[in-house]
Chains A and B, each alone.
Chain A
Amino acid sequence: MIELHEVSKTYGTVVALDRLNLRVEPGELFAFLGPNGAGKTTTIKLIVGLLFPTAGAVRVGGFDMQRQGDQARQLLSYVPDQPYLYEKLTGREFLQFIADMYGMPRSHGRRRIADMIDVFSLGDFVDGLTESYSHGMKQRTVFAAALLHEPRVVVVDEPTVGLDPRSVRLLKDLLREESKRGVTVFLSTHSLDIAQELADRIGIVDHGRLISYGTLDTLRKQAVLDGSLEDVFLKLTQEAPGNGAP
């Protein structure tokens, strides 16, 4: 469903991604990990078509993001680490805008909006302007908008920042359910416990290179360590080229 083939990305003279190859299957929940500045957000922006690769190709749902980006974006939803909401729209108006943008039939859109308001418990504030929302309320509204149009691919960058424990639990359940329904979830996070709990497969990127890729067991074997994902992650990133490992 998501395919990156020999993807490189440079910012001026700095190489942010170096020949990245990645394939995420339909219905898979894929966790993308890496230290700060490793290239996670750049990869995500390439997947959603905000940036173009300097070399290589990115395909989503079979569509090339550079040439057929509009069709590809119809399939996906993106929740960035700092999500955007129109401050002078109410939550409900924002959800309606998203429903219209994705071409949802009117009655179906209304039903889905009602469902999302219910699922994310937006009822108390959904008719107020979003400028008055707390960070957690904004996050919940953004997730409601992301799942509203029943995307086939959900790309999420640091989803749990600012959410209370109940909302985190809700989100984890939802991502798992979406994955079971066949939705591909690409999850970038620093929360290793969430990655360990949810992910079918895990990719670790460091200095723009994919240093490890597979199930947790595969990663453990590579690290020659039978510990938690946190231990494995620290060992693999410590040993990665460019980190002064012996």
Chain B
Amino acid sequence: MNDTLAPVRVNQPLLFQRLRWRLLRNAVGRVGRGASIRLLTVVVCSLLVWGCVYVASWFGFEFLRLQNRTGTFPFVEDIIATLFDLLFLALTLGLVFSGSIILYSSLFGSAETGFLLSTPAAADQVFAYKFHGAVAFSSWAFVLLGSPVLIAYGVVFAVPWYFYAFLPLFFLGFVLLPGSLGALLCLLVVNGLPRRRKQVVGVALLAISVVLAAWAVHVIRTAQTQNWTRDAVRDFLDQFAFAQGVLTPSHWLTQGLMAARHGHTGEAGYRLTLVWSNGLFLYVATAWAAARLYRRSYNRVVTGGTLRRRYGGAWLDRLVSGVVGFLDPQTRLLIIKDFRTFRRDPAQWAQVLIFTGLMALYFANVRRFYQGDINQQYKNGVSLINLAATAMLLCAYTGRFIYPLLSLEGRKFWILGLLPLRRDRLLWGKFAFSATWALLIAEFLVIFSDLMLGMPGPIIAVHALTVLVLAVGLSGLSVGLGAWMPNFRETDPSKIAVGFGGTLNLVAGLLYILVVLALMALPWHVRAIVSDLLGRHIPVHWLWYAGLAAGLLVGAAAVFIPLRIGARNLRRMEF
């Protein structure tokens, strides 16, 4: 090689930026050409969610503003600051965990990093490239859910224009902190405990969830026993002092935004500098660690475990097989296959443990309502909240675990496609699996809590029917939409669940819950409340039964329409 052909100095950050830009440009160009309906659906759904959060926040802030003006509610500014502190702290925790998990699969589980690490790309540059993607991916929910809250606050309290200018600047600097912290944790866990990394993440998530839930229970109990005097409000707000420490980055964000709202640009600028300088410092420190640890970590992940581990049958498989024993043997085998895949992935079942733990804490917390020392109206409300909470749990369960099932068949889908069974049966099998478990768990939770509350028989029957419609309908939606919009290229179920199809499924599920509860359960509760207020029995109108019938029809539609669309897509699918 002569001198004129000697390699030039490579600006790797620029090279990766160019790569990202090209990938994005080509992907967007393709969407524009071939999948405009999808793009439109994404935009409409996002706007819908954004609008709903904005409206709810606007009413909340307006309520607080009015209370502040009439003087009936002390410390409104402090309450809002505390709310922001909690919002940003929750965001910090969420970004630390989701960022580290997404980064883990990007850095250690993707074919792309295997390719890049075999080129002269520097380890810290590959890390930085994947880090930016992971942080962008994990923080989009904040943009969608956090920005309407902050903008509603700005509109209600008529903040100066530069408050809005500060928002993106604060956001961009702030996400560096939890993102870098999550990345650092990811690298350290993989280096320190390469064989137990999934268990460490599972236990950490569980521990944090339990601590948060226990703290929430404590706060709610305190709130229920307070008379809202000025001192009581102050005492209550003091319980959130942990989120307001001088070294808490989420508090810097709150202080900065509040300063901007009051026109104190100097203070806002100082907080912004604090956020950015610390964010950049942590990012540089993490990149420095990545330059030394990333290749070593990659080696440890690949070779950390044993090459071949023996797996055998388990009583759990037999239990599941027994529960779905009413299905034909072929469908049962497919269900057992899905279940085995699920139970052998700690990242999957750890999240189920968290779901279950949170639900157990919730029901433990409301047990004091079961003592019978509260009035019927209160019980009536609690039983409706229990029903709604169970519906949300079902929605989260089907969205997170059922929706990705078909996509997870991945590139080996052709194996199922060549099996001597109708492809529709794949869907109906997954649907039966989901609906059976969802129904068993949800019916138990709702009927048990209703019985403990001493709810009357008709209400329990209505709840049982509503749960049936919810479990079956949400399962139908998740399986059907999962087959309509499969993502065979993604192997991470959490990414599938938070992708476009997963988000659409979540939004559809939430709307479905709203409609079913409004049609089937709400009228009966309203009747009970009115009856209690008037002190006389209100006869059941035929409209109440019509609501139940309409709910059943909506439920049937939620099962058959998505499953038919999904099955048609599956039948047409080529491999």
Binding site for B on A (CB under 8 A): 9-14, 16, 45, 48-52, 69-70, 73-74, 78, 80, 82-84, 86-90, 93, 97-98, 100-105, 108, 129, 150
Residues of chain B within 8 A (CB-CB) of A84 are 111-112, 114-115
Given A52-B296, A74-B120: A97 touches B15 (CB 8 Å cut-off): yes
Does the CB pair A13–B120 fall under 8 Å? no
B332 CB to nearest A CB, Å: 33
Does the CB pair A108–B305 fall under 8 Å? no
Tell me if B364 counts as interface (CB < 8 A to partner A).
no
Complex Cα distance, B30 from A51, in Å, reads 37
> 27 A-B Cβ contacts within 8 A?
A12-B304, A12-B306, A14-B306, A49-B295, A51-B299, A52-B295, A73-B119, A73-B120, A80-B118, A84-B114, A86-B23, A88-B22, A88-B23, A89-B22, A89-B26, A90-B26, A93-B26, A98-B119, A102-B10, A102-B119, A103-B9, A104-B5, A104-B8, A105-B5, A105-B8, A108-B5, A150-B1
Residues of chain B within 8 A (CB-CB) of A150 are 1
Does the CB pair B30–A50 fall under 8 Å? no
Complex Cα distance, B221 from A141, in Å, reads 65
Residues of chain A within 8 A (CB-CB) of B299 are 50-52
CB contact list, B296-321 vs A, under 8 A:
296, 298-299, 302-308
Tell me if B117 counts as interface (CB < 8 A to partner A).
yes
Binding site for A on B (CB under 8 A): 1, 4-10, 12, 15, 18-19, 22-23, 26-27, 30, 111-112, 114-115, 117-122, 195, 295-296, 298-299, 302-308, 489
Complex Cα distance, B20 from A89, in Å, reads 10
Residues of chain A within 8 A (CB-CB) of B298 are 50
B293 CB to nearest A CB, Å: 12
Complex Cα distance, B299 from A196, in Å, reads 33
A42 CB to nearest B CB, Å: 9
Does the CB pair A14–B9 fall under 8 Å? no
Does the CB pair B305–A97 fall under 8 Å? no
Does the CB pair B22–A12 fall under 8 Å? no
Does the CB pair B306–A11 fall under 8 Å? yes
Does the CB pair B195–A49 fall under 8 Å? no
Complex Cα distance, B298 from A80, in Å, reads 17
Residues of chain A within 8 A (CB-CB) of B302 are 45, 50-51
Residue of B nearest to A76 (CB): B118
Residues of chain B within 8 A (CB-CB) of A87 are 489
Complex Cα distance, B130 from A17, in Å, reads 31
Residues of chain B within 8 A (CB-CB) of A73 are 118-120
Complex Cα distance, B125 from A70, in Å, reads 12
Given A12-B304, A100-B10, A129-B26: A70 touches B120 (CB 8 Å cut-off): yes
B35 CB to nearest A CB, Å: 13
B436 CB to nearest A CB, Å: 37
Residue of B nearest to A101 (CB): B119
Residues of chain A within 8 A (CB-CB) of B305 are 11-12
Complex Cα distance, B22 from A78, in Å, reads 24
Residues of chain A within 8 A (CB-CB) of B122 are 70
Residues of chain A within 8 A (CB-CB) of B120 are 70, 73-74, 101-103
Residue of B nearest to A73 (CB): B120
